[in-house]
C-alpha cells in the first residue's frame, strides 16, 4: 500500500525519496483535484487551465507572479455556505481577501460581510455592500473608527474591550453590538491563529467574569443594543469538537444573562476558522456537514439549559476564497543540494527559485504552513525529484513550498502554480525588498479581468517623500 505525501502522490513500490513522509509521485503531471478550484485542469499540453484560461496566456498578458481568482469557484463556495446555513447569517470574513470586486460578489450572492478596519469598511461600501449587512471586528477600534462605523449604519459592531464600550457611549449614537468572548478552547492549530484560549488579546474572558460584566455594562449603556455573544476559536479547523465546547460555554453565559439579568439575547455568533485542503493531509468538512453538526450542537445545549435557541451566524473566509485562488510563478534558477542522511543514499533536494516568495505568501514563513504545487506550463516525462520552491528575497526562510515532487527537468522559464492561496496571501503581502505586489486576475469562461492591478515603482515612490527642505517642512519637521 503506497503512502501519500502532501501533494497526494504515491510511488507504487513505496520507495523512499526524501523525508520519511514523502513518496515519489505516480504522475506529477496530474492535479490533485481537491487542492484546486473547481475549473482547474491540465490540457493536452500539460498546461494548467483555470476558468477556461491557459495560464501560459495569462502570464503572457499580465506577467508573473500573479494571483489567479476563479470567479465561478468563489461564487459556488459562497452559495454553498449560504444555502447550507440558510437558518444562519453568513458573514464572509473580508480579512481573508477583500477588494471591491469580492465585496460586490458577496453582496450579489446574498452573504453579509465582516470587516476589521476602517479601510476594509471603505472597500466594502465601495463594493456596494449594504452597511446593515456589515459586521465590524477588531481588538483596538479607535473612537474615530467606531464613529465612522456608527455613522455608516454598520449592522453590528463586535465589541472587544471595556474601553470600546466607553468609546461607543462617548459617541452618543445608536449602535447594535455583539460581545466577543473567549471560551478557553484550545483549537488544534498554530499558536498565532488559535484565538479562544485565555492568554491572547481577543475578547472578554468567560472564566474571569469579564464577559458577564461586559454584558451588564452594555445593557446599562444608553444607545447600545446588545444582540448577543460572539465566539471565535481559531483558524484552519477540521472538526466540530472545538465548536461544541465553545458553544457549551458561551450558551451557559447566555443562560446566566437570561436568569440573572432577565434579558434574552437574540443572537450568537460561532465564528469561522473552517479549514481547507492545502495538502492531502487536510480533510475539511463541507458546508452542509458543518451546518448539520453546528445546528445540532446548539439545539442540544439550548434544550439542556432550557433556553430558546438564538439566531446563529458564522464567518467563513478562508473556506470560500482559499481554494478559489492559485498563484502562478515563473522559474528563475534551479540548483540541487545534498541533504543530511545515510551516506549510501545521498539524498538530494532541488531548489526551484521563482519570481515571488514571502512578499506574496508569508504564510509558509510565518505559520510553517504547507503548500503543494505543480508544473503549470507543460507536460514532462522526466523522473520526479524532491523539490523546494523558494522565493527571490534575501532570507533563508523565504520558502513558498517546503517539499514537493516536481519533474526533474524543471528549468528556468517554466511556470509553477501553487493552489489554495486565496486566503491571506494577498491580504498579508508586503513590499519586502521593495517587491511589487502581484495583481489579482479574475478568470471566467476563458476571459481574464484585472480586479487588483500589479503595483508599479511609481506606487512605491508615491509614498517615498523626497529628502528636500520643502518636504521636511511640509511634514512638520524642523530643520
Length of the chain equals 479
Cα–Cα distance measured from residue 86 to residue 476, given in angstroms and rounded to the nearest whole number? 54
Distance CA 93, CA 230 (A): 14
302 given a catalytic annotation? no
Q: Is the peptide bond before 65 cis (omega within 30 degrees of 0)?
A: yes
Instruction: Give the active site residue among 112, 373, 394, 425.
Output: 394
Rounded to whole angstroms, the Cα distance separating 140 from 153 reads 20
| Secondary structure of residue 74 in the 3-state scheme | helix
Helix (H) or strand (E) segment spanning residue 304: helix 287-305
Backbone region of residue 349 per phi and psi (left: phi > 0; alpha: psi in -120 to 50; beta: other values): beta
**Contact call for residues 364 and 358 (beta carbons, < 8 A):** yes
* Residues 270/234, Cβ–Cβ less than 8 Å: no
Query: What is the Cα Rg of the chain in Å?
Result: 24
DSSP character for 47? Answer: B
Q: Please name which of 113, 137, 296, 152 lies closest in space to residue 201, comparing C-alpha atoms.
A: 137
Listing DSSP states for 382-449 in one string gives SPEEEEEEE-SSS-TT-EEEEEEEEETT--TT-EEEEES--SSTTTT---GGGPPPPPEEEEETTEEE
CB-based contact 64:417 (threshold 8 Å): no
Q: What span, in angstroms and rounded, lies between the C-alpha atoms of 87 and 97?
A: 25
What are the residue numbers of the active site? 394
Amino acid at each position: 500500500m503506497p503512502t501519500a505525501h502532501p501533494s497526494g502522490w504515491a510511488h507504487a513500490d513505496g520507495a523512499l525519496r526524501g523525508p520519511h513522509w514523502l513518496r515519489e509521485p505516480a504522475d506529477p503531471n496530474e492535479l490533485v483535484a481537491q487542492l484546486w478550484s473547481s475549473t482547474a485542469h491540465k490540457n493536452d499540453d500539460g498546461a494548467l487551465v483555470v476558468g477556461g484560461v491557459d495560464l501560459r496566456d495569462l502570464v503572457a498578458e499580465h506577467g508573473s507572479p500573479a494571483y489567479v481568482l476563479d470567479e465561478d469557484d468563489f461564487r459556488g463556495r459562497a452559495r454553498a455556505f449560504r444555502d447550507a446555513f440558510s437558518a444562519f447569517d453568513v458573514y464572509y470574513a473580508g480579512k481573508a481577501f477583500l477588494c471591491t470586486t469580492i465585496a460586490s460578489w458577496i453582496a450579489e450572492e446574498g452573504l453579509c460581510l465582516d470587516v476589521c478596519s476602517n479601510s476594509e469598511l471603505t472597500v466594502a461600501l465601495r463594493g456596494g455592500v449594504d452597511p446593515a449587512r456589515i459586521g465590524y471586528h477588531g481588538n483596538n477600534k479607535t473612537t474615530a473608527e467606531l464613529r465612522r462605523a456608527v455613522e455608516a449604519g454598520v449592522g453590528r459592531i463586535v465589541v472587544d474591550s471595556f474601553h470600546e464600550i466607553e468609546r461607543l457611549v462617548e459617541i452618543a449614537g445608536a449602535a447594535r453590538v455583539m460581545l466577543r468572548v473567549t471560551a478557553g478552547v484550545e483549537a488544534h492549530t498554530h499558536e498565532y491563529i488559535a484565538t479562544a484560549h485565555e492568554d491572547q488579546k481577543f475578547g472578554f474572558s468567560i472564566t474571569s467574569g469579564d464577559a458577564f460584566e461586559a454584558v451588564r455594562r452594555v445593557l446599562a449603556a444608553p444607545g447600545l443594543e446588545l444582540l448577543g455573544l460572539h465566539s471565535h476559536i481559531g483558524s484552519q479547523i477540521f472538526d466540530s469538537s472545538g465548536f461544541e465546547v465553545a458553544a457549551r460555554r458561551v450558551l451557559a453565559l447566555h443562560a446566566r444573562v437570561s436568569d440573572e439579568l432577565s434579558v434574552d439575547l437574540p443572537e450568537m455568533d460561532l465564528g469561522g476558522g473552517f479549514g481547507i485542503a492545502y495538502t492531502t493531509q487536510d480533510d475539511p468538512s463541507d458546508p452542509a456537514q458543518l451546518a448539520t453538526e453546528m445546528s445540532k450542537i446548539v439545539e442540544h445545549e439550548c434544550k439542556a439549559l432550557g433556553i430558546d435557541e438564538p439566531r446563529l451566524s458564522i464567518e467563513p473566509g478562508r473556506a470560500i476564497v482559499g481554494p478559489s485562488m492559485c498563484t502562478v510563478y515563473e522559474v528563475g534558477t534551479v540548483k540541487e543540494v545534498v541533504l543530511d542522511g545515510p551516506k549510501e543514499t545521498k539524498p538530494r533536494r532541488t531548489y526551484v527559485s521563482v519570481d515571488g516568495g514571502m512578499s506574496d505568501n508569508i504564510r509558509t514563513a510565518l505559520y510553517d504552513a504547507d503548500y503543494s504545487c505543480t508544473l503549470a506550463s507543460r507536460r514532462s516525462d522526466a523522473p520526479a525529484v524532491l523539490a523546494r520552491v523558494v522565493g527571490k528575497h534575501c532570507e533563508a526562510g523565504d520558502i513558498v513550498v517546503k517539499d514537493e515532487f516536481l519533474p526533474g527537468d524543471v528549468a528556468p522559464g517554466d511556470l509553477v502554480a501553487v493552489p489554495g492561496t486565496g486566503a491571506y496571501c494577498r491580504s498579508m503581502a508586503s513590499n519586502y525588498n521593495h517587491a511589487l505586489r502581484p495583481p489579482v486576475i479574475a478568470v471566467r469562461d476563458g476571459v481574464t479581468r484585472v480586479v487588483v492591478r500589479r503595483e508599479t515603482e511609481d506606487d512605491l515612490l508615491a509614498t517615498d517623500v523626497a529628502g528636500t527642505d520643502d518636504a521636511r517642512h511640509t511634514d512638520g519637521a524642523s530643520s
